[in-house]
Chain A
């Protein structure tokens, strides 16, 4: 699973997704601030990379910038995002990249699915938009559904979202994102809204499907246990800046930054049973106090 960074550098592989000096500006009540402040992220083909940090550190905004989904009061002021050589920040409206080469799983599957559309239609939607034939899209969707653990995919096809449980909805989301075999999948806290008992299942499904499709992943999370399990490299984000990055094992076993240490100390585990869980104060340059 671990792709050695040295090997990549030796072979001179180009990064698949390259975020260069990205600055994202948020305007609110005549004030503006940089919620993402010149960050650099590289993701290589087939690699699973984690982006971790506390709430409000700019993780999701980074992901939304990649997907061209920023709302009106948020804008990219400088920086570039390259996906396989194409700049995602200057795409025209009729591009065939968003949804085809790059896809995103949202945090809350219950509100991310259209309540009035059948599951089948929602899964095949992005395939049909990007020019797959109806029959092909359907067979692909059924295959993905069965691979993501449904025993009765053709029944699921005709269900409405409200007839499924949260975990099932998230598996449907995964299938709908992977139907075009994207080059990279952005997973924005895919398990946060789910029951603890099925979080592992969902992560396993994402990992195995991604591997069979050779899709890279940017996993946005604040759960460092998850990161340890599936990712090879990690970026730690604080207040819109990357404070630390590197191989997961290196960073988590010997963190250099105080913030990373604090995050690691805040992971609950059996060895800390009975002890008070570590917490930490928000850091001084928190934007809310600016």
Chain B
């Protein structure tokens, strides 16, 4: 762990990510206001001790809304990352390890999946099923799986003929054991970097969908909702757009830097 904290990118990413994480965690303990409580008399309040980040066009406290919105973002990021990691790695490692005809069919499908624009796929799924958190997660997971399939497959294909795998086979290790105990730990660093990218992409795509009104439904807060509400009043109250945008950027940048730092440490 120490070597990771000697890497500048990792430290920067860690700090940025923790900032947002702390914001979210504090929200669980203490929310300054009800994020959906409307107070028309107090709309577009500037930053003050009463409202640390001001209020929006309905007088809702921006800090509370961001705290709740970051929950959604981080939750979706983590869930999409985990699901697509597990599903993608299982498919990819089986394909890479056993190869053969099924592998080439699966990979052709996977490639055509990758050629399909992800956001369009998400829109299609949301159009068929109603927009909700569940649909968003399913759509984003579908978008992320092909990348994991590719990367885990190439890792397994690369490591399968290596001598230490042969050695494990010569000791009578089963295929499952070889895949789990020997190949996966050696192939996992690429997958972790992909996970960090998947996390940040999921966060961005979720806000994109919410911005279009297809993700988290109003009045519940999410970065996309907050932004789409605030953009109409960008001239009246610029901080209403800038603050959530900056926090979203900090979250995505932080996770990306964590992934970069991780891969840099493992390369050297």
Contacts and interface: CB of A to CB of B under 8 A. Distances in A.
Contact of B168 (A115, A116, A125, A130): A125
Given A116-B186, A129-B177, A111 B164 contact: yes
A112 B172 contact: no
B170 A71 contact: no
A113 interface: yes
- Interface size class on chain B is 10 to 19
B167 A129 contact: no
B267 to A, nearest CB: 14
Contact of A117 (B163, B166, B170, B181): B181
B161 interface: yes
Nearest to A71: B161
Nearest to A125: B171
Interface in A91-148: 93, 95-100, 103-104, 106, 108, 111-117, 125-126, 129-130
Residue of A95, A114, A117, A130 ringed by the most chain B CB atoms within 10 A: A114
B170 A114 contact: no
B187 to A, nearest CB: 10
Residue in B162, B164, B171 whose Cβ sees the most chain A Cβ within 10 Å: B171
Contacts of B163: 106, 108, 111-112
A129 B171 contact: yes
Contact of B186 (A72, A108, A115, A130): A115
A114 B164 contact: yes
A115 B181 CA distance: 12
A69 interface: yes
B117 interface: no
A103 B171 contact: yes
A95 B174 CA distance: 10
A100 B172 contact: yes
Contacts of A115: 164, 186
A114 B172 contact: no
A129 B176 CA distance: 12
A245 interface: no
Contacts of A112: 163-164, 166-167
B51 interface: no
B219 interface: no
Interface string B129-171: 0000000000000000000000000000000011110111111
A176 interface: yes
B186 A126 contact: no
24 contacts: A67-B170, A72-B99, A96-B172, A97-B172, A98-B170, A98-B171, A98-B172, A99-B171, A99-B173, A103-B170, A106-B163, A106-B170, A108-B163, A112-B164, A112-B166, A112-B167, A114-B167, A114-B185, A117-B181, A125-B168, A126-B172, A129-B171, A129-B172, A129-B177
The 7 closest A-B pairs by CB, nearest first: A99-B172, A126-B171, A99-B171, A111-B163, A112-B167, A114-B164, A112-B163
Interface of A: 67-69, 71-72, 93, 95-100, 103-104, 106, 108, 111-117, 125-126, 129-130, 173, 176
Interface of B: 99, 161-164, 166-174, 177, 181-182, 185-186
Given A71-B161, A112-B164, A129-B174, 17 more contacts: A69-B169, A69-B170, A72-B99, A93-B174, A96-B172, A98-B172, A99-B170, A99-B172, A100-B172, A103-B171, A104-B170, A114-B185, A114-B186, A116-B185, A117-B185, A125-B171, A126-B172
